Amino acid sequence: MKMLRTFLVVALMSVSAATVFGQDTKIRFFGQPELDFGKSKENNHFDGVSPTGQYIKRDTTYQSKSNFNTGNMVLFVTSQLSDRISVLSEVSFNNKGQTFNFEVQRLMLRYYIQDYFSVRVGKMFTPLGFWNNQYTLGLVLQPTIQRPSVIRPLSEGGVLQYRDVGVQVEGENITSARIFYKLMIGNGIGYYGSSDKKDTHISGTGQVGFEPLDGFKILGSGMIDRMEKGKPTPSGAVVLPDNGNLLLFTASAAYLNPEKKPEFIVEYLHQNSNFSTIKDSKSSGFYTYAGYRVADKITPYVLYNHVQAGKVGDPDLYFSPIPLKTNTMTLGIRYKFNASFVYKLEYEYQKQNFIYPEITAGTVKLDDGFTNSTISNRVRMQFAFVF
């Protein structure tokens, strides 16, 4: 109840501020209740290491009950304060079991000069890839129920930090090729404000692309950041054991033209984690989304995800201390009642492998190592709306 009261207070404050200061203010509430049912079978579940140096493992099966949940409730406010100045805020409220979460997702001010140059200041999505900047957390706008796993936010089990606090310059519709760009300087990994930032390092992120055809965009993005010893990774699963640098590159292509029936999004991500005294590691991932509108309101679609976090001998500590490989296939159908109300139904098949290396004591091998494999089947149903 405390979190709900906080959410309502912020909502009322946003409405009041927009009424007083806003010349052209839009206030929207997004909701996305869901039904989720799934079953998972795990082979070689890791149960630790014996005193003599052998892995302890077992097989197990999990089956979830039908689970209704409210999903995210998102308050989205934009206001045009003058001809050049606008503000945007996005706050979310959700519950997982008996835990309630409230978070300011974005809060920023934009100063517009020309199409080819504007400035944003505040908390915002980093300019990495297409999906991350194209869709808010209000899922009525998103083509699938969840984001692709490779770019999923922390609240949905992801491991990348796709928001930061900083300054961004941007431009679009440059020349007949409709070139666009974004350049951002931010606090960096794990930092959202001055109170939790202990060093002087900053991150740099850039994006450039063009739109040769209506709705068809091709773009590349890159980020360089500092990894500080003792700082938890965004997922909180690992405390970084050494100083280092992170290099992330993204290549994207998307075709989303509301006047045409086919649509697709393809993105590839590659990351290098370079530590000072520990072996460097590499991780990568990609996803492919494709949909085809068979009627004015009905769009079947497919989404394929692949993630490879490190490899045997070179675990990527930023993602997981144990090499991870995940393949996910999602088949879905989207029914658009209107621009404010969308129904989605999905079936998901996922295979996930954690690769445990061999155990040695000097030159003596104690265990050969093994692969932990989990296969999951899930059905999800969602009603996404905005009012």
pLDDT in tens, 110-138: 999 998 999 999 999 999 999 988 887 76
Spans in the chain with pLDDT lower than 70: 1-23, 64-66, 95-99, 138, 153-159, 192-194, 234-237, 277-278
Tally the residues of the chain. 387
> According to CATH, where is 2.40.160.10 located in the chain?
37-69+115-386
Spatial separation of the C-alpha atoms in residues 40 and 51, rounded to whole Å: 30
Under 8 Å between Cβ of 222 and 208: no
Strands annotated E in 310-369: 324-338, 341-356, 359-361, 364-367
Half-sphere exposure of 37 (CA within 13 A, CB side): 5
The two structure tokens encoding residue 216: 């068809």
- pLDDT number for residue 230: 76
pTM exceeds 0.75, yes or no:
yes
Spatial separation of the C-alpha atoms in residues 329 and 327, rounded to whole Å: 7
- Kindly state which CATH superfamily the domain 37-69+115-386 is placed in: Porin (2.40.160.10)
- pLDDT number for residue 65: 62
